[in-house]
Structure 1
């Protein structure tokens, strides 16, 4: 289609160029012949008087009327505003001819004046109209084109009034100098207009502008003849001057007639293309196609649209329009604003739209286009992809379930390992104690004292693991709720941080607490916040190498209290950062990993923070440390004194840090 179209467009351009140069050549030949005719007439000096005034007036009026009709018909066909503006000039020509104010030359030889040769007023109006047609005065042109009937009426009334006034009360007896000066002015204007249209014709490759140029050029030649006839009143010059008017009209009419023939030919070719295109669009079984204007009025809807909406391809476009309007009412305002914004900026939009009432997802494409006549149109193409979307959704859900199942299996394998490790230690220690108990040469109390810490630490590890499983279950079923009190969050976070310094020192890790404020009261569940902080600090100590650093910072703004726990440890792999707060997720899932853990600690932290109406975020490049940020609402309970009896629970600390092997080696 595109290759055929480009070939046809190329052929049309060649035709336009050919006709342009033909018109230009003929006009130059005619102009030269008329100039030569003038010199021949000046040599003859004597011709018989011809009384042909009536014939001249009738013939001129017919040609002017044909020029008006041709320009209006061509304007309707091509929508070129210059043609309508030029038609106003020919309307004035026609009225001047009817009133005998154009080319009504006294045909008597040696007469030094012209009887009602031309009305200056209507001539000036013609000149103004010509200048408007070539000047970049868009607002004036828009007013004329938008009010065609009024424009024709105004021009007609002005021409009749001015023509009548000048023909009755003005004459040009013994005013040859004024006539000559005015005709020189006409020559200049006509030449400028003719050249402008000629340049426009060549640049835009539009044949019709060369026709206008040629017609106007001949009016300039006629003005030159009239100038000479004023000084040398020879009958042959005057008759030739009259014939130039005929020729100007004839070239204009013939050129427009040829343009109409070309348009008819182009329209037939276009109709053939459009019939193929229309059939392709209207019979499209795959996509629904709707064309509507900038006012939302549907101008075309293919059969698939009507079948899709009504199960009836014959339903009128108005009903399609009403259905689309009702569907648009169901859409989210943000989607509508997005569509309008994109079509305004990028002339297109594509995406999926969900229609709640139909439980249907449509894949849509909207394209903004302009017609040849500058009309703004929108093409909407859509199709039902509900089944595909549902399938994709089911596949995503299936993959999630599959992934969750894999994570659960990994968790149970991990939890078995976590439980088996302390149990094996218990069993081995019991076997050792039994063996030593039977050896009377060994002090049992001393042996028990050596293994007491090992038993205690592994009991705490098992208890911590069981507590985590129980707590996450309670949170899931909604059994656990936050018990809010007003507390000094600065003091609480500082005490929690300082309470774990001894554990950090066992790995030569430096812990620093910093804050911008000395005291700040907010509502929270302190026991929950303590547990969340201990978990983050234990993780930081667990995954930070010796001689590392951990920083705890606290600051506030109008909405939140920010608590940051940052370390320079091994970091969290980027590929699991999006799901690090999900249950059972670990950075190292192997059973030979360096650090123990069930993979539910951070999930509990997130749940605890959310129960306190807060938020938690992670920042890590995957290699060089990790930063967790807890946001707690900067609010406090009204008419409730704050709890200043808070003390860190040391048992919780030992329980939380029990799975860090390095601390007990």
Structure 2
């Protein structure tokens, strides 16, 4: 009986020891397999993202990131042919169309498999992903050691250990097993806190190294996602994405600013209260792309709506671009063309009319000289207008723009002298307070600027009125102030006086020789010199123009 008990005890203890040791290895292998599968999956996802977003060919894109991938990379085209393999020559490899993970990836998108490699004859942890219209990319990882190898190599030692220490195992097996398991469970691979048996250190270090690689790759993906999200949120085009039920699933800052809704709004028709756009998005869900231009809250926009797949279901995307500046430029161009046509037509009509009277001998001899004078005056008006238009054009393109050091006070004083005759003919007094000042500017344009301001102050003044001209320094700016006691400008028209051909009082302007381009030229000159102009005016009390130009 004693022998039988001893025999049963020995067998039981031996079983417990073997089972305990095997359990430890099984636990480790299970964790190792999970880690291998996770590593293969994360690296495959990284490659899949690269292939989906890269504009290069798949092989070049893979080679660029190959050094950051731990394991064997295989790229298989749609036919199953191996196009690239990081560990083997392509010529040595047969078709991979029959590999389980390849087949499953084609049908399900992602496949994880553990098997013996037909190529390397090693147990491999595979993860394969199907990239639409490109092929299947697969990552294969092999562990440093497998359970079968461990058991095979340690079996003689294990049996020797059992035979030699069978008596001690009977007493200590349960405690030892518990201690081993407890030590493994308490050891933190991330921080290295806790104790670990020296024999397990290589395995722990390997797992820790692989975890570090995975963390770096995850961080890289996270950083890339943050960068793309930042670009998406801050681009100047407004972007909005809807799902198949017209629910908003993604927006950026610009589109929310345009339509004035917050990020919590989920229904498109409530966020964008514009039936035309709602209809366009509904058409986009049906596969129809629509482009349109529309006005919204005083600004002009161009939009494109088209179908967009979102999480494997049909959706729609709206892209909106602010084209207010382009629309206003086009409107100004058309208005300028209309104004030029109208302004040129008036003197030309007069010239043609009087010319026909003279040519057809309808005019009396006494009137011919008067008609010729009228023709000459209208021709001069045309020439002045054309010259002013050319000045504006050259200012816009900055042709012939040459800055030099010049005395602005001399230019202002000469301008006053030139305009004195016109002022005296209407008993208008010109008062000046001009400080000596040198600036860096285009000389001819400074003459045009001063001449237009002083000339306008006289033309649109009242008989017996006054014009005050001041030039002084204010910090690093030269300040030219021209004030008159003339007819003044209504507040609602003060922004328009700098437009081409704009005239405040057209009935009065018929008596004044003017192209209507003077203040437009002044504005362009000031802008070309990085300055700014201000207007203060009251009807019946006069106007004051203040020009500020950088001295250097």
TM tier, smaller: 0.3 to 0.5
TM-score of the pair, normalised by structure 1:
0.34
Q: Larger % of helix: which?
A: 1
TM-score (norm 2): 0.41
